[in-house]
Structure 1
Amino acid sequence: MAIIRPFNGLRPQAELAAKVAARPYDVLSSAEAKAAASGNPYAYYHVSKSEIDLPDGTDIHSQAVYEKAAENLQRFIKEGTLFQDAQPCYYIYKLVMDGRSQVGLVCASAITDYNAGIIKKHEFTRPDKELDRINHIKTTRAQTGNVFLAYEDVPELNVVIDHWQQAQAPAYDFTAEDGIQHTVWVVNDANTVQQITTLFAEKVPCTYIADGHHRAASASLVQKEFAEKGMIKSPEEPANFFLTTIFPASQLAILDYNRLVKDLNGHSEADLLSRLDYDFTVEEIGHLPQQPSMLHEFSMYLGGRWYRLVAREGTYTTDPIGILDVTILQNNVLDKLLGIKDPRTDKRIDFVGGIRGLQELVKRVDSGDMKVAFALYPVTIQQLFDIADSGNVMPPKSTWFEPKLRDGLITQVI
């Protein structure tokens, strides 16, 4: 069963929350972070993307960057921008995007659960990206980025969390520049804290990583190193846990994650359409983009026109990986027709999160930068759970979660 703990969150003064809050470190470039932090000395980018405070051209994985992050974090604490709660708390984090809300619990999740597979994964991690977060955690002695977890709904937990929201005033409530509303409540009542801890221990058999595989893996590796060096004295020390926000599955939405390809692998447009007809029903739908309306349906933009592709029976299997639309597209189009064997490394393919809309696909193809685009129906949360339960991993760039949690609103010090 899931082990979670309250913790002494490091967080901003209420009047500074909107200025501190930053997009996750891995969804924007250094240049974008520098622009976002311009004129804002409180922006958490000074911690999460601290290369913005160093000379242009600085290696973002150099020790100087991690040391600057630690320096800036300590400055935020010294100047009072951030303060640490005196007692262990849980935090309720509500996000509202386009009228749809999702409410999660910010907590410390046990690294033993991660190591034992109680916290389930669906992606591979890369050693270079792990090392970056390892060095950031070790140097700052803080977990500055959230791991986004999901769990099967537990009605009793929903009741407790809903009651706290209704009975208590939020610590933070603001709408960011992208229109997403962020509201945070501090759960500091000892009885309620214990009730939440017990409900997870009794009612939640496992959780699933939705986003943040590298952050979770890095926290585990840091804990292992600290334990081997004798730096951890008790099971309840913060280094034995990592910063997570856990959402009930019913509230989550996964957006489409679409594909662009630079060329047609020697095929003409007419030839590609003809060859696609072996594995798909192909229907021209005109100049206006249309989102796929169901699983196994794809929208393709080619030569200024949109086409609907529906996978024929026999082009996919029913196992958790084979039934995914990303697998169907990879096997029957990207590999078979366009010669893209490994989408992780092939430079001819690019990926666009659904948050940017289908017009982004049109723009990239019409500009001549890309030759063809494919829009996919989103992976379902149940498909993600099925794959994680089976011990498999998803193909690359399968899921895009929105809205994103903001860094800086709650940090765990280790």
Structure 2
Amino acid sequence: MAEILPLKAWRYSELLDNNIDELTSPLFDVVSAKQREALYRNNFNSIHLSVPRGDSPAEEAAILLQEWKANGVLAQDPLPGIYVYYQYFRLPGSDKEYCRKGFICNIKAYDWHERVLLRHENTIPSAVNDRIELLERTELNTSPTHGLYTDSAFILEPFMDESIKSPLYETEDYQGVRDVLAVIHDHAVIELFLKTLEDKQVLLADGHHRYEGSLEYRKKMTALNPEHTGYEAYNYHLMYLTNSEHDDLRILPTHRVLQHMDISDEEFLNKLEPYFVITPKEDPFELNEVILGKKWAFGLYLSGNAYKLRLKPEVHDQIYWKFPEEVKDLDLTVMHYFVFEQVLGIQREAQRNMAGLTYERNFTACIRKVDTGEARLALITNEVSMEQVKRVCYSGAIMPQKSTFFYPKVICGFLFSSIKEDEFITAPAACL
């Protein structure tokens, strides 16, 4: 099903890549304002291409890209390859070192109805539009999205393990994660990668906005090209693929932070009571622990007061949203339906662009934002499991926006993928 291709990546020249630590950057949707300003001070940092600034940021990124190519800041690898990417990391409270194994390649930007690439959560429209404009102007994928394939036989791992012994780059990123990149040029091995994926569906783990940007760009270019074949460069998208069967795949929770609401704390709690068992808690820093592993349970930190919320099971059937049971059963569906729609009166579609609603992965940051008055309340949730992601994807439905946080995030700056026709491998036969 999934057509993938190796790529001739654009990478920093040898004169610069010895300082790769100073050239990488976080993805556009996780980089903080403070991080951005620090990274912008380096004139060659990848953030100038992935999160450009200025009055016309996409246009300025396109101009800068051409300058970097002309001046040798970036150079294209002469041979097509599959780029192996390993991330070594630890989690709080554990001594274990995890290793998420995967590889970077180009994949066709399949439309959702083709059921080759499956999404699991909603997107925020404004973020998609931003990515489309940047792709149109630069014709460059600045960072890979993250996809999951299922291979219980682990056919590709031995080849990746061998490749990673000779890394192109090795660095520690902003997350404290050790990132290692290598490349496979062997034609027979590349063919095995292509054949292994050709009967797979791919679940989109992270990067829904960037993928939708590529998909919309493909549709636009297809409509403009009467000679469209399906092999043009604009049909493809850069993706980091990992095996969903690997034990070191980790998903962290994404909490909700609300800056303001139009009702008093007392009225808010009263409106919650028909749906939730509300238990006051003394220490807000225990909210993530008291809900751990409990279904339909949330932490609420409201104007300096902490509560544990647990949905009354008998009210769950009141969810009238036309979702399959796989989606209705999710904690975040319960939260968005009962808290945001029923209590706050914000309809499901309006929640996608809700002013003042932000998404926070850091639990202590949620508490801090409420304590400093930056936010009125924080809703703390458990993580979504890999099995839940699979069930939702295969059902054809999608989760609420920002449901999952696959950890760690990939980084930007190791490589870039051009979709200019003269810089792209446009057919599988040309690769082998």
Q: Please show how residues 172-187 of structure 1 align to structure 2 within 5 Å.
A: 172-187=169-184
Distance 1:113 1:5 in 2: 18
CA pair 133-201 structure 1, distance change in 2 beyond 3 A: same
The answer as to 2:274 corresponding to 1:287 is no
CA pair 6-129 structure 1, distance change in 2 beyond 3 A: same
Conserved 8 A contact 1:10-1:412: yes
Match of 1:74 in 2: 66
Distance 2:236 2:227 in 1: 12
Match of 1:346 in 2: 354
Match of 1:151 in 2: 149
Q: Please show how residues 309-320 of structure 1 align to structure 2 within 5 Å.
A: 309-317=309-317, 319-320=325-326
The answer as to 2:315 corresponding to 1:323 is no
Conserved 8 A contact 2:146-2:239: yes
Gaps of 5+ in 1: none
2:392 to 368, 387, 399: 387
1:44 to 43, 46, 50: 46
Please report how far the alpha carbon of residue 76 of structure 1 lies from its aligned counterpart in structure 2 after TM superposition: 2.4
Gaps of 5+ in 2: 91-96, 318-323, 420-432
Please report how far the alpha carbon of residue 409 of structure 1 lies from its aligned counterpart in structure 2 after TM superposition: 1.3
RMSD of Structure 2 on Structure 1 (CA): 2.7
Match of 1:266 in 2: 263
CA pair 31-315 structure 1, distance change in 2 beyond 3 A: same
CA pair 329-125 structure 1, distance change in 2 beyond 3 A: closer
Distance 1:173 1:232 in 2: 43
Distance 1:20 1:232 in 2: 39
CA pair 111-268 structure 1, distance change in 2 beyond 3 A: closer
Alignment-mate amino acid for residue 245 of structure 1? Y
Distance 1:220 1:303 in 2: 42
CA pair 228-302 structure 1, distance change in 2 beyond 3 A: closer
Please report how far the alpha carbon of residue 275 of structure 1 lies from its aligned counterpart in structure 2 after TM superposition: 5.1
Distance 2:399 2:3 in 1: 26
The answer as to 2:212 corresponding to 1:214 is no
Conserved 8 A contact 1:115-1:220: no
CA pair 89-263 structure 1, distance change in 2 beyond 3 A: closer
Alignment-mate amino acid for residue 63 of structure 2? E
Alignment-mate amino acid for residue 308 of structure 1? K
Match of 2:220 in 1: 225
Q: TM-score, normalised by structure 1?
A: 0.86
Alignment-mate amino acid for residue 8 of structure 1? K
Conserved 8 A contact 1:48-1:144: yes
The answer as to 2:194 corresponding to 1:197 is yes
Please report how far the alpha carbon of residue 393 of structure 1 lies from its aligned counterpart in structure 2 after TM superposition: 2.1
Alignment-mate amino acid for residue 325 of structure 2? D
Match of 2:23 in 1: 20
1:242 to 234, 237, 241: 237
Distance 2:334 2:130 in 1: 33
1:257 to 254, 258, 270: 254
Please report how far the alpha carbon of residue 325 of structure 1 lies from its aligned counterpart in structure 2 after TM superposition: 1.0
1:306-354: per-residue Cα shift (whole Å, max 9, x none)?
Answer: 322222212325812211111212222333333343422433x523322
Alignment-mate amino acid for residue 49 of structure 1? V
Please report how far the alpha carbon of residue 244 of structure 1 lies from its aligned counterpart in structure 2 after TM superposition: 0.6
User: Equivalent residue of 1:66, what SS?
Assistant: helix
Conserved 8 A contact 1:76-1:82: yes
User: Equivalent residue of 1:393, what SS?
Assistant: coil
Alignment-mate amino acid for residue 280 of structure 1? F
Per mean C-alpha deviation after superposition, the further-off stretch among 111-120 and 91-100 is 111-120
CA pair 265-335 structure 1, distance change in 2 beyond 3 A: farther
Conserved 8 A contact 2:124-2:352: no
Match of 1:374 in 2: 379
Alignment-mate amino acid for residue 374 of structure 1? L
Please report how far the alpha carbon of residue 211 of structure 1 lies from its aligned counterpart in structure 2 after TM superposition: 1.8
Distance 1:370 1:138 in 2: 36
Between the aligned residues of both structures, percent identity stands at 24
Distance 2:367 2:39 in 1: 27
Distance 1:133 1:275 in 2: 39
Please report how far the alpha carbon of residue 382 of structure 1 lies from its aligned counterpart in structure 2 after TM superposition: 2.2
User: Equivalent residue of 2:242, what SS?
Assistant: strand
For these two proteins, the number of residue pairs brought into alignment is 396
1:354-391: per-residue Cα shift (whole Å, max 9, x none)?
Answer: 2x22x222222222333332101112222222222222
1:142-165: per-residue Cα shift (whole Å, max 9, x none)?
Answer: 222322112224423343344324
Per mean C-alpha deviation after superposition, the further-off stretch among 138-147 and 233-242 is 233-242
1:199-240: per-residue Cα shift (whole Å, max 9, x none)?
Answer: 1124x2x01112222222222233333344449776544322
Please report how far the alpha carbon of residue 281 of structure 1 lies from its aligned counterpart in structure 2 after TM superposition: 2.9
User: Equivalent residue of 1:107, what SS?
Assistant: strand
Conserved 8 A contact 2:369-2:375: yes
